Amino acid sequence: MAEYTTNAAGREVLTEINGEAAVPYKGVGKHRPEGNKAPRPIRTNADYPDSGDKRLPDLKTALKEAGLRDGMTISTHHHFRNGDLVANQIFDAAAELGVKDLRWFPSASFPCHAPLIEHLDSGVIHHIEGSMNGPLGDYASQGKMRGLGVLRSHGGRYQAIQDGEVHIDIAVIAAPTSDPFGNCNGVNGPSVCGGLGFALADSEYAEKVIVVTDNLVPFPCVPWQIQGNNVDYVVEMDKIGEPAKIVSGTTNITKSPDRLLIAELTAEFVRAAGILKEGFSFQAGAGGTALAFAIFLKEMMKESSIRARFVRGGSTRYLVEMLEEGLTDYILDGQTFDLDGVRSMRDNPRHIHTNPFVSYNYHNKGNIASMIDAVVLGATEVDVNFNANVVTHSDGRLLHGIGGWQNCLFSKCTILPIPSFRDRIPVIVDEVTTLCGPGELIDVIVTERGIAINPLRQDLIDATKGSGLPIKTIHELKAEVDRICGGPPAKPRFEDTPIAAIKWVDGTVIDVVKQLATP
Amino acid sequence: MAEYTTNAAGREVLTEINGEAAVPYKGVGKHRPEGNKAPRPIRTNADYPDSGDKRLPDLKTALKEAGLRDGMTISTHHHFRNGDLVANQIFDAAAELGVKDLRWFPSASFPCHAPLIEHLDSGVIHHIEGSMNGPLGDYASQGKMRGLGVLRSHGGRYQAIQDGEVHIDIAVIAAPTSDPFGNCNGVNGPSVCGGLGFALADSEYAEKVIVVTDNLVPFPCVPWQIQGNNVDYVVEMDKIGEPAKIVSGTTNITKSPDRLLIAELTAEFVRAAGILKEGFSFQAGAGGTALAFAIFLKEMMKESSIRARFVRGGSTRYLVEMLEEGLTDYILDGQTFDLDGVRSMRDNPRHIHTNPFVSYNYHNKGNIASMIDAVVLGATEVDVNFNANVVTHSDGRLLHGIGGWQNCLFSKCTILPIPSFRDRIPVIVDEVTTLCGPGELIDVIVTERGIAINPLRQDLIDATKGSGLPIKTIHELKAEVDRICGGPPAKPRFEDTPIAAIKWVDGTVIDVVKQLATP
């Protein structure tokens, strides 16, 4: 029987996750980690070929050499997003080898991984820890996965590996270009995906590391985004991914008049609040509204002759254009969302490849996220205390991962530009279905009906007073939306069974997702 | 009383060094490390400023904040070589703070550090672990240092830190450019030194990390050769080093006819042995003979239209010219020896900054050193079994560090181009004064009187048969040199007291240096 406790956010959370003790969320910055980073065995070059040639004939051989057996944890990265061709092959090979009860620990999963449901059903995969975008999340929501899903932010995933919460037995790193030693990158080759930063922790801490590539080059593969000195085996295969599919459905600018208004209001807010100034920085994701925001902001920058010191990607051609037009000194990029991003990362020394260690890891001596002047993020729901949800829909289904979302909340000004309702269901609610980010870190909500500033940010309230922007209280906004939609949304109905835990950036449990009630 | 045991090389070595148990050398690749890498405490961003600004007003304040106290280990890097202006200031500050018995753990020390003798005498510094080039080595040789010196290769230093043999309490990293977060590099600013790779292990494993810079730039400092996420404090000062002095006395091409002959013979040997072929690789240091070798080799490459895949630096303008003329795809550079090297590392994406983790660390999943086709190194002495010495002179004085020398021995063909005698003292001897590299890894000795190939390398003997090169046995060479010099050199006279231990690349003790006998 699952044991619960109430965490500092007032949420009922599990005290044990998949058989291991879990720490309840204690508040922002309140949990003090103890002890040392995860142990890493000392290796010796005597066990590796002097020639540097670590090639094995195929993935199955590599998995066998790596000692694949029941109950192990296998990790992958998601830089190919919905174009990944490797993860499914890993578990097909595991099935052929008769291995069971694996834990899959991807940095994220996508609809292209729906075939893994077969391996979840058959017992090859026990459960998934990582973002479950789409069908796998839906599968978990229906209570079909044996273990509990664990959702972490990109920084939280690094933290969990670093802190020893998750020990990876075998990391498989799909690499667009590699040398036989295992130095590899995502910017060259026929199947490019940009960076490989999400696989950094895996390469550093996994017991065994397999690099899989469809573009082998002679040593040295430069840049070595992943260092061959951390790699055990290299495998060549025909095709590792489809670059066209790193362009997720979200990387088109919105055409919706409401969303364009939201984007413009967001840019206006940034200007009115005094954030838009020489040497500032911002991060906007690859969603349609965020892209539109970046374009509005860019126009303002040009009008006022203001240059950014850096912008954070997910990069797209819009950020690349800013860099190439001299509107920013640098792009600090965690993942490329289109092929212009890949090209720029490859060719422009000011387009910097980053990883969750430098950007997002909270158990660190600081990171990039807290230094960003303004960050623009999405949300599925926000409550009247500015708490936000990014993983479940209002119908209760777990359909999204956290990505870098939680990590970005630490910026100097976190703005959620969101529609006030979707499909006639209000987005501003009394209480979010799933708590992913505490309201104290969320500063501004921008909707097509007005802007709500968190009362904790009196400085922003003061700065934008008299700006002419439609600033309202969150309660005013909510009342207005409820009127339009005919009242607050119906609460989703859940069974008692938990299906996933949501981790905070420090490894504590901020919330739990439950199985959907059978209709 | 010091306890000795005989190691696998037949050398009497200490079983304990500075109070800690020491493992005797067991043979190449024979020592199997056990356990895990050094523990690293989990940190939290909650303890670091959200703004990313880690500045403190001065070095003394930073040392105090870092908790400096008696008996601690303080590390520095030597990228400024004889132009370092920071190390002396650290111990001046420590003296002012009344701290005693520090262990100084530099990646190397130079004549510019002679003022530290005062702090060794007064008790501020207990002893030095690291290369002692010149006066500090001489000081140790005279038995004046309280603790035992420990000499390690660049790779061995990384290994010792990584494996937990040396715990650094405070690392001080002199950085030609840094941001307030501690991201830093050596390629920009008024006091450039090129790379900062020797400080990598320090930044990763030290308890506290202080970056000292004379060129502060707004975040982000790009490239971040050292990651600010590993840094605790940043200190600005007037001047951290003298770039003109990274050009050591050794970076001029030899004008000696004998040395030019040696260099030419070495290049001829590389060609005759079939090593010089499309896509090959080589490493030559910055000594006068090595530079001349590189120039002879370059001419051969041009004649035969042969391109290297990579050359390893220590970079100088000679390697940079090869890169710029398209004679090599890459320079993989561990330290820049002149300002052309710095410029190229800064501006040329094919001039790659490396560090001892990727290049030299033997407790790794392989490294670059073993993949190099030919490496050209110096030596103070070689014996008839091809064992070599690189730290003591034939008079027994400890005057040089190991550098990357031991690590480079793992190349596919290790060549020592050396004069057969110096100051009428034979360089080829019956037994080296100090054993630094086992003969089984040293393949070829090139002197002005002929070339000796290690009998273990029958392949090289076969390949160069009939080449017209003056190939002789090492015994023939020795006999010839002894005749010229009037017999073998007199053995240096030592006291019984050990003054330094020489570590092998795996942390075992390959030899011991003793105090010079009082004349």
Q: Which of B49, B50, B62, B92 is nearest to B235 (CA)?
A: B62
Tokens of A369: 């996220």
- Bridge partner list, A216: A178
What is the rounded distance in angstroms from the CA atom of residue A123 to the CA atom of residue B467?
66
pLDDT of the residue at A246: 83
Span A164-189, pLDDT tens digits: 999 999 999 999 999 999 999 999 99
* Interchain CB contact of B517 with A (< 8 Å): no
CB contact under 8 A, A162 and B54: no
pLDDT of the residue at A239: 98
Contact assessment for residue B74 and residue B116, using Cβ atoms and an 8 Å cutoff: no
pLDDT of the residue at A31: 98
In the three-class reduction of DSSP (H, G, I as helix; E, B as strand; rest coil), residue B245 is classed as helix
Same structural domain, A237 and A314: no
Q: Which of A52, A352, A362 sits opposite B366 (nearest CB)?
A: A52
Compute the average pLDDT of residues B75-100: 97
Does any domain span residue A28? no
pLDDT of the residue at A251: 63
Buried b (16+ CB within 10 A) or exposed e, A389-425: bbbbbbebbbbbbbbbbbbbbbbbbbbbbbbbbeeeb
Q: Which of B352, B365, B368 sits opposite A232 (nearest CB)?
A: B365
In B360-468, beta strands by DSSP E: 374-376, 381-383, 388-389, 414-417, 421-422, 425-426, 428-429, 444-447, 450-453
Asked whether the predicted pLDDT for residue B399 surpasses 80, the reply is yes
pLDDT higher at B250 or A458 = A458
Residue A145 neighbours by CB under 8 Å, 6+ apart = A120, A127, A128, A139, A499
CA torsion B507→B512→B513→B518, rounded to 10°? 150
Asked whether the predicted pLDDT for residue A243 surpasses 90, the reply is no
CB contact under 8 A, A40 and B45: no
Choose, out of B161, B234, B365, the residue to mutate when testing the contact with A (most A CBs < 10 Å).
B365
Tokens of A473: 């209280």
Q: How confident is the model at residue B189 (pLDDT cuts 50, 70, 90)?
A: very high
CB contact under 8 A, B222 and A352: yes
Contact assessment for residue B413 and residue B282, using Cβ atoms and an 8 Å cutoff: no
Same structural domain, A339 and A223: no
pLDDT of the residue at A519: 73
Same structural domain, B286 and B212: no
Does any domain span residue A248? no
Compute the average pLDDT of residues A303-325: 95
Residue B19 neighbours by CB under 8 Å, 6+ apart = none
pLDDT of the residue at A36: 98
Of B242, B267, B291, which marks where a domain is finished? B242
What is the rounded distance in angstroms from the CA atom of residue A480 to the CA atom of residue A420?
9
Does any domain span residue A515? no
CB contact under 8 A, A45 and B352: no
* Interchain CB contact of A111 with B (< 8 Å): no
Contact assessment for residue B224 and residue B184, using Cβ atoms and an 8 Å cutoff: yes
In the three-class reduction of DSSP (H, G, I as helix; E, B as strand; rest coil), residue A443 is classed as coil
Same structural domain, B217 and B356: no
Contact assessment for residue A105 and residue A87, using Cβ atoms and an 8 Å cutoff: no
CB contact under 8 A, B310 and A162: no
pLDDT of the residue at B506: 98
pLDDT of the residue at B247: 76
CB contact under 8 A, A29 and B36: no
Same structural domain, A184 and A318: no
Asked whether the predicted pLDDT for residue B110 surpasses 80, the reply is yes
Asked whether the predicted pLDDT for residue B268 surpasses 60, the reply is yes
Which residues from chain A sit within 8 angstroms of residue B231, using beta carbons?
Answer: 365
Same structural domain, A212 and A276: no
E strand or H helix at A291, and its extent?
helix A288-304
Which residues from chain A sit within 8 angstroms of residue B354, using beta carbons?
Answer: none
pLDDT of the residue at A288: 86
Span A16-50, pLDDT tens digits: 999 999 999 999 999 999 999 999 999 999 999 99
Which residues from chain A sit within 8 angstroms of residue B234, using beta carbons?
Answer: none
Q: Which of A261, A328, A320, A309 is nearest to A288 (CA)?
A: A261
A-facing residues of B in 355-394 (CB < 8 A) are 357-358, 361-368, 370-371
What is the rounded distance in angstroms from the CA atom of residue B203 to the CA atom of residue B187?
18
Q: Which of A89, A60, A41, A37 is nearest to A206 (CA)?
A: A41
Same structural domain, A210 and A352: no
Using CA coordinates, name the residue in chain A closest to B162.
Answer: A42
Same structural domain, B405 and B275: yes
Q: Which of A413, A472, A483 is nearest to A447 (CA)?
A: A472
CB contact under 8 A, A42 and B357: no
Structural domains of chain A, count: 2
Q: Which of B127, B132, B142 is nearest to B402 (CA)?
A: B132
Span A407-418, pLDDT tens digits: 999 999 999 999
What is the rounded distance in angstroms from the CA atom of residue A186 to the CA atom of residue A346?
9
Does any domain span residue A511? no
Tokens of B428: 């080829």
Q: How far is A501 from chain B (nearest CA, A)?
A: 22
Q: How confident is the model at residue A250 (pLDDT cuts 50, 70, 90)?
A: low
Asked whether the predicted pLDDT for residue B415 surpasses 90, the reply is yes
Of B242, B274, B297, which marks where a domain is finished? B242
CB contact under 8 A, B45 and A332: no
Contact assessment for residue A373 and residue A342, using Cβ atoms and an 8 Å cutoff: no
Using CA coordinates, name the residue in chain B closest to A29.
Answer: B46
* Count, residues in chain B: 519
Q: How confident is the model at residue B244 (pLDDT cuts 50, 70, 90)?
A: confident
Using CA coordinates, name the residue in chain B closest to A46.
Answer: B29
pLDDT of the residue at A286: 77
pLDDT of the residue at B287: 82
CB contact under 8 A, B43 and A352: no
* Interchain CB contact of B27 with A (< 8 Å): no
pLDDT of the residue at A56: 98
CB contact under 8 A, A309 and B219: yes
Asked whether the predicted pLDDT for residue B480 surpasses 60, the reply is yes
Compute the average pLDDT of residues B113-141: 96
Compute the average pLDDT of residues A124-152: 96
Does any domain span residue B116? yes
Asked whether the predicted pLDDT for residue B16 surpasses 90, the reply is yes
Asked if residue B314 has a cis previous peptide bond (ω within 30° of 0), the answer is yes
pLDDT of the residue at A431: 96
What is the residue-averaged pLDDT of chain A? 96
CB contact under 8 A, B220 and A352: yes
Backbone angles phi, psi at A172, to 5 degrees: -115, 120
* Interchain CB contact of A27 with B (< 8 Å): no
Q: Which of B29, B52, B352 sits opposite A371 (nearest CB)?
A: B52
What is the rounded distance in angstroms from the CA atom of residue A313 to the CA atom of residue A291?
11
B-facing residues of A in 177-216 (CB < 8 A) are 181-182, 209
Of B212, B242, B272, which marks where a domain is finished? B242
In the three-class reduction of DSSP (H, G, I as helix; E, B as strand; rest coil), residue B451 is classed as strand
Q: Which of A41, A330, A370 sits opposite B50 (nearest CB)?
A: A370
Does any domain span residue A414? yes
Compute the average pLDDT of residues B169-186: 98
Residue B149 neighbours by CB under 8 Å, 6+ apart = B127, B128, B129, B132, B137, B140, B398, B499, B500, B501, B513
Does any domain span residue A110? yes
* Interchain CB contact of B55 with A (< 8 Å): no
Residue A316 neighbours by CB under 8 Å, 6+ apart = A251, A286, A291, A337, A338, A340, A341
Which residues from chain A sit within 8 angstroms of residue B367, using beta carbons?
Answer: 45, 229
CB contact under 8 A, A224 and B358: yes
Q: How confident is the model at residue A380 (pLDDT cuts 50, 70, 90)?
A: very high
Contact assessment for residue A9 and residue A31, using Cβ atoms and an 8 Å cutoff: no
Percentage of residues in chain A having pLDDT higher than 70: 99
Asked whether the predicted pLDDT for residue B197 surpasses 60, the reply is yes
Q: What is the pTM of this model?
A: 0.97
Query: How would you write B148-195 as a 3-class SS string?
Result: CEEECCHHHHHHHHHCCCCCCCEEEEEECEECCCCCEEECCCCCCCEC
Compute the average pLDDT of residues B476-501: 96
Sheet with B328-336: list strands edge to edge: B351-353, B328-336, B308-315, B280-284, B374-376, B414-417, B444-447, B450-453, B471-472
Q: How far is B422 from chain A (nearest CA, A)?
A: 35
Backbone angles phi, psi at A255, to 5 degrees: -110, -5
Same structural domain, A235 and A325: no
Burial class (CB in 10 A: 0-12, 13-18, 19+), B244: exposed
Q: How confident is the model at residue A273 (pLDDT cuts 50, 70, 90)?
A: very high
- Bridge partner list, A226: A184
Q: Which of A209, A229, A367 sits opposite B357 (nearest CB)?
A: A229
CATH (domain of A79): 3.40.1080.10
Choose, out of A28, A30, A37, A45, the residue to mutate when testing the contact with B (most B CBs < 10 Å).
A45
B-facing residues of A in 308-337 (CB < 8 A) are 309-310, 330, 332
Using CA coordinates, name the residue in chain A closest to B46.
Answer: A29
CB contact under 8 A, A37 and B42: yes
pLDDT of the residue at A249: 52
Same structural domain, B147 and B278: no
Does any domain span residue A478? yes
Choose, out of A40, A42, A162, the residue to mutate when testing the contact with B (most B CBs < 10 Å).
A42
Q: How far is A343 from chain B (nearest CA, A)?
A: 15
* Beta-carbon pairs below 8 A across chains A and B: 184
- Bridge partner list, A73: A103
Can you give the residue range of the structural domain that contains B214?
54-242
Span B295-353, pLDDT tens digits: 999 999 999 999 999 999 889 999 999 999 999 999 999 999 999 999 999 999 999 99
Compute the average pLDDT of residues B427-442: 97
Tokens of A508: 């504590």
Same structural domain, B291 and B237: no
A-facing residues of B in 214-273 (CB < 8 A) are 218-220, 222, 224, 227-232
Same structural domain, B235 and B271: no
